[in-house]
Amino acid sequence: MDVLQVVVTSTRPTRIGGVVGSWFTRLAQGHGGFEVRTTDLAELELPLLDEEAEPNERRYTKPHTLAWSETIEAADAVVFVLPEYNFSFPASAKNAVDCLYDEWHYKPVGLVSYGNTSGGLRSAQAFKPVLSTMKMFPLPGQVALQFAGQLIKDAELHASENHEAAAKGMLDELAFLSPHFRAIREARAS
């Protein structure tokens, strides 16, 4: 079964990203199209780039980079759980992308964005060129959660039916694309 890697990108001690990530992970597990794995950047504690070699050389020496590389290498599709900070994506997400190179290539990507008024749409739109530069293929649409903090009760996200339908649509599309991108990666490697 293809592996879907969910990446929770916010790292603030009082963040809601973990709750949003758990909500999406549960939906993804219920979808049944993937083996779902979730990585939390707050737990991974990737420092700002601290390897001597550039990521495209893939000469990693630090345990955190090696672990992150292994995680993304194993992924067939990726979903970033992405807050909006100052009309853009969090620095932790950019750093996590920058730490690797080949591992990202030819993988379809979904975005679950959240924030206040815009539901993280500006964050997601700003992140897409970063992803494309790394030969990732972000889906045009995304799940966008407006005023996500207000949807949380008892440490659980209570999203609307529309949000859940958007998440299901994203998972369907990723499940459709994932084997095709795997074939591309295999053709490239041979």
Ligand X SMILES: Cc1cc2nc3c(=O)[nH]c(=O)nc-3n(C[C@H](O)[C@H](O)[C@H](O)COP(=O)(O)O)c2cc1C
Binding site for ligand X (CB under 6 A): 10, 12, 15-17, 83-87, 115-118, 148-149
Helices (H), 79-160: 91-98, 121-133
119: which 2 tokens?
């539901």
Q: How far is the CB of 51 from ligand X (least distance, A)?
A: 26
Residue nearer to ligand X on the CB measure, 152 or 184:
152
Residue with tokens 């500006």: 122
Q: How far is the CB of 84 from ligand X (least distance, A)?
A: 4
Question: 59, 99 in Cβ contact below 8 A?
Answer: no
Residue nearer to ligand X on the CB measure, 102 or 125:
125
Residue nearer to ligand X on the CB measure, 15 or 94:
15
> How deeply is 171 buried, as exposed, middle or buried, from its count of CB atoms within 10 A (0-12, 13-18, 19+)?
buried
Q: How far is the CB of 153 from ligand X (least distance, A)?
A: 15
Rounded Cα distance between 69 and 101, Å, is: 9
Residue nearer to ligand X on the CB measure, 107 or 128:
128
Q: How far is the CB of 114 from ligand X (least distance, A)?
A: 6
Beta-carbon count within 10 A of 72 CB: 19
Q: At a CB cut-off of 8 Å and minimum separation 6, what does 111 contact?
A: 79, 80, 82, 124, 127, 128, 138, 139, 142, 143
123: which 2 tokens?
């964050």
Residue nearer to ligand X on the CB measure, 10 or 142:
10
7: which 2 tokens?
């990446």
Q: How far is the CB of 182 from ligand X (least distance, A)?
A: 31
